[in-house]
Chain A
Amino acid sequence: MATLGPSAFSPYPVAVYESVLNPPPGKALLINEIVDEEIAMREAAKAMLTRPNPTIFPGPQVLYAWNEEAKEKAKLVRKMAEVLNAKIIPMYDYRPKYPKINPAVEINPNHPNLTIWHNKIKACIFVGVHCHYANVALKIIRAETDCFTIAMCGMAGHEDAMITLRDQHVEEMEKFIKIAEEVKRELGK
């Protein structure tokens, strides 16, 4: 059942209550601190490589081949999963699903906590999820789980994630994979 988020993350589901705001361009957000992107990327890789059941949640913007960038990003997400020894569970659309979702293989923004509880996921990356649904899902996860969330966002970021990497496109994703490979080596994983 539910494990409440440790207060280190936030006792509230909404980070802005604690004055946590998105990072400015070129920077990243680590819990409630604005840091250099590289520092946040290292921490993100470390979280994924050390916490149980790391999982990447790709959203529609990378799952579907709707433009060239999406096709590139799909390859990079796959590579990232390999480097981070992470599972991939897709958030393929945002429709509420009846009678119920199968939390072993899918995640839905309307109740993302079900997938996190079921798979005991303690670290995850959101990538390619449209802004408003990432916002909703990250708030629910923050409030209802002890999962360490990482938002790899193509736009301005998500203050409700424990780590926000903003303006992430092909080049930045390649950089993250490189850093993750380094961290993996350092950790001897």
Chain B
Amino acid sequence: MSYKIYEINEEFLDVMPQEIKDLQFRATWGNPKRGVMDLPYSKELIEEHSLCAGCPESMALRYILASLPNPEDTIIVNSTGCTSLVFPHIALHTVHSLFGNQNAVASGIKRVLEWRFPDKVKDVVVLAGDGATVDIGLDCTLQSFFRQEKITTICFDNEVYANTGGQESGLTVKGHVFKMAPKGKQWDKVPFWQIAIDSGCHYVARLTVSSPKKVETVIKKAIYVAREVGPTYVHLYTPCILEIGLNSDDGLDEMRQRDKERFAFFEYMTPQAQEVIERKKEEGLL
């Protein structure tokens, strides 16, 4: 895709709504240095969202979309869940795959794009919930790591199946009670960041989305490494304030608390990934 598709024919400038003109004149296309610091000044690639007010998933999406180094040539593959409610409002190519299949779909898209556009950089990013990534889609997620697919997988871990009303997932913490897990979870939270490392990911990070800048850096590293080396995985804590009974303005505090414990910042990279990251730093892109 070319960001030319947002260039409005001048004959129609007078009839186009402002937010669409903004996508041409105020969005940060074609600039790999774009990032969260642009948020207050530029047009975001997400319009309204339909998540609960204050849902940290919406923050995560804003930061991620502001940080993609190559949005005009990025394809996002997502899965069913709360996150998927946002994708229709995003001004990028997104593919809604069948629940759980996201990493298989993304693998196919990445391979076809490499074949079809050998001279272009096309980033494929998977974005899905914990239920989709670690439970129902576990097979597809892991197989894409084993096959060393050059895609970035981002898991929005809210520790619950939120969209279907509160069932426990593999990433729910032991003992947590949800509407449809009344006895509390019997087993431990799956340490998926570790499984991602053991399954061949070259860059892995675990964090909350309390710090926009940190999210930006991690996303850029993950995408640059996936481009050149192989699969990368980012595990984000985006608490479901609705299911854990918090108010709309409590999300940030909840994440800051978890920053100090089970979501303390953690980063892993292989030597090949490190080489890419160092080079990108020298180029001023990180």
- Residues on A facing B (Cβ under 8 Å): 58, 60, 62-66, 70-71, 74-75, 77-78, 88-90, 92-93, 95-99, 102, 105-106
The listed residue (B9, B48, B90) touching A74 by CB distance below 8 A is: B9
Name B9's closest neighbour in chain A (CB-CB). Answer: A74
Q: Which of B214-246 contact A (CB under 8 A)?
A: none
Chain B interface residue count, CB cutoff 8 Å, equals: 22
Cβ–Cβ contact A96 & B88, under 8 A: yes
Complex Cα gap A67–B81 (Å) = 37
- Residues on B facing A (Cβ under 8 Å): 2, 4-12, 15-17, 20, 47-50, 88-91
Complex Cα gap A60–B9 (Å) = 10
Q: Which residues from A are CB-within-8-Å of B6?
A: 64
The 3 closest A-B pairs by CB, nearest first: A74-B9, A74-B11, A78-B11
A139 to chain B, nearest CB (A): 20
Cβ–Cβ contact B47 & A65, under 8 A: no
Name 20 extra pairs, CB < 8 A, besides A64-B7, A97-B48, A102-B17.
Answer: A58-B12, A64-B6, A64-B8, A65-B4, A65-B9, A66-B2, A74-B12, A75-B11, A88-B12, A88-B15, A89-B15, A90-B16, A93-B20, A93-B91, A95-B88, A97-B89, A98-B48, A105-B15, A105-B17, A106-B17
Complex Cα gap A115–B135 (Å) = 43
16 A-B pairs whose Cβ atoms sit less than 8 Å apart in the complex: A63-B12, A64-B8, A65-B7, A66-B4, A74-B10, A74-B11, A78-B11, A90-B16, A92-B17, A93-B91, A95-B47, A95-B88, A97-B48, A98-B49, A98-B89, A99-B48
Task: Evaluate whether A90 and B5 lie within 8 angstroms (CB atoms) in the complex, with A95-B88, A96-B88, A97-B47 already known.
Answer: no
